Amino acid sequence: METKPSDFRVPDIFADWCPGCGNFGIMNALQMAFAELGLEPHRVVMVSGIGCSGKQAHNVRVNGVHTLHGRTLPFATGVKVANPELEVIAIGGDGDGLGIGAGHFVNAGRRNIDMTYIIHNNGVYGLTKGQASPTLKRDLKTKSLPKPNINDAVNPIGLAIISGYTFVGRSYAFDVRHLKDIIKQAIQHKGLAFVDCLQPCPTYNDINTKDWYAGEDRRDALGKPQSRLYKLEEAGFDPLVRDWKEDWQKKATALEKAQEWGDKIPIGVFYKKEYESTFEERISGRIPFYAERPPAKQKLGNEKGISTVDLSEFLDDLKTS
């Protein structure tokens, strides 16, 4: 049976984001991506953090786990390790993933678990009324900041690449089709995929607005706005790492691209490596039947519920007779 984006709408739920919020675009892109991939809702788990983005988990009809600020990845990791058959999508804000959760962001890269992590990147902490997030550039003063931002910004794409994410892409919340394609690629990628999703915050970020991204302030001779975003795939950028010998070179090229900002902002896939072993494969190397009988699928007891674990492997070393 063909699945439609509407199959992933949650009845009786009101998405309470501000009018014009980029989250609507991301929600639509997620629903479209899930539908096009033909995912069964019960097999998908969306794990989210705290902030406006956290509510994303309630607005798509798949399993939703709305967790703690910054802890999206640890929860998602636990879900996936216990049952690798699940399609796990982690969702978080820029403050969630790159501020309070930055340690998890980096360490997740070391494991390369086969899941997708989408950061909603709007430069501000929206739900607490517009403080600077880790991705807001230094010296910018968005609407509700009493003084310009004193901290430098984190580069999410760069951090993901050097942390070991094996798929690193970026898209834009109001280019729903492009975002949907990037999300689909991220889900289909074997390994940990990161999507940096740029989005305006119409209420608190009065600098990186929809108009700013669209280049309304810079029109060509014909009066046509010159969008600040350009697509890597259209610029002939090749993100694919084919073997380990070119890995560092590809990383360096991707990092260079990740530096671009301001009047030319790349979206698309920056880096993609398919041959790296996933965490699940590494576990399977130790537990050969892990894929068929992961922790969530083990019986634990016999038909009467009696635990049948044979402790002799432990006890033999401890015996004194």
Partner 1 sequence: MVTESINWMAGGAQGAGVDTAANIFGKACGYGGLYVFGRREYHSNIKGLHSYFHLRVSLKEILANVNDVNLLAAFDAETVVRHIQEVTPEGGIIVDAMEMNRKILDIPTLPPEFKVQLDNFLKENGIGETLKDLLDFAEKKNVHVFPVPYIALLNKIGKQLNISQISKITRMINVLTIGVSFALLKYDKSLVEKAVKSMFPEKIATMNIVAFNEAYDYALRVFKDKLSFKLERTDAKEERIFVTGNQAVAMGKVLGGCRVQTYYPITPAADESEYLEEHQILKTGSEEEAIVVVQTEDEIAAINSASGAVMAGARAATSTSGPGFSLMAEGLSWAGHSEVPVVVTYYQRGAPATGLPTRHGQADLRFAMHAGHGEFPRIILASGDIRECFYDAANVFNLAEKYQMPVIHLIDKAMANCSQTYPVFPHEDFKIDRGAFLTEKDIDGKEYKRFSFTSNGISPRVALGTKGAVHWYTGDEHNETGHISEEVPNRRKMIEKRMMKLQLVDREIPSEEKMNFYGDKSSENVVVSWGSPKGAIIEASEMLKEEGFSLGFLQMRMLHPLPVEAVKRVLAGRKRIIDVEDNFTAQLAGVIKEKTGISPNFYILKYTGRPTTTTEIYEALKAILTGKASERQVLMSGN
Residue 8 CB burial class (10 angstroms; 0-12, 13-18, ≥19): buried
* SS3 category, 9: strand
Question: Residue type for 284, please?
Answer: S
Considering the complex, state which of residue 2 and residue 317 has its C-beta at the smaller distance from partner 1: 317
CB of 150 to partner 1, least distance (A): 27
Considering the complex, state which of residue 148 and residue 301 has its C-beta at the smaller distance from partner 1: 301
CB of 206 to partner 1, least distance (A): 28
Considering the complex, state which of residue 81 and residue 197 has its C-beta at the smaller distance from partner 1: 81
Site residues for partner 1 per CB under 8 A: 13, 40-43, 45, 47, 50, 55, 57-58, 61-68, 71, 73-83, 85-86, 103-104, 106-107, 283, 286-287, 289-290, 293-302, 304-315, 317-321
Considering the complex, state which of residue 222 and residue 308 has its C-beta at the smaller distance from partner 1: 308
Residues 6+ apart with CB under 8 A from 184: 33, 36, 37
Considering the complex, state which of residue 154 and residue 283 has its C-beta at the smaller distance from partner 1: 283
DSSP calls for 157-199: HHHHHHHT-SEEEEEETT-HHHHHHHHHHHHHSSS-EEEEEE-
Structure-token match 């033909």, residue found: 38
Distances, alpha carbon 168 to alpha carbons 46, 52, 58, 191, 199, in Å: 19, 23, 25, 11, 17
Both structure tokens of 228: 């600040």
Considering the complex, state which of residue 41 and residue 148 has its C-beta at the smaller distance from partner 1: 41
Considering the complex, state which of residue 262 and residue 308 has its C-beta at the smaller distance from partner 1: 308
Residue whose C-alpha is closest to residue 42's, from 80, 68, 8: 8
Q: What's the DSSP call for residue 261? A: -
CB of 309 to partner 1, least distance (A): 5
Write b or e for each residue in 52-79: b if 16 or more Cβ atoms lie within 10 A of its Cβ, otherwise e.
Answer: bbbbbbbbbbbbbbbbebbbbbbbbbeb
What is the spatial distance between Cα 6 and Cα 139, in angstroms, rounded to a whole number?
43
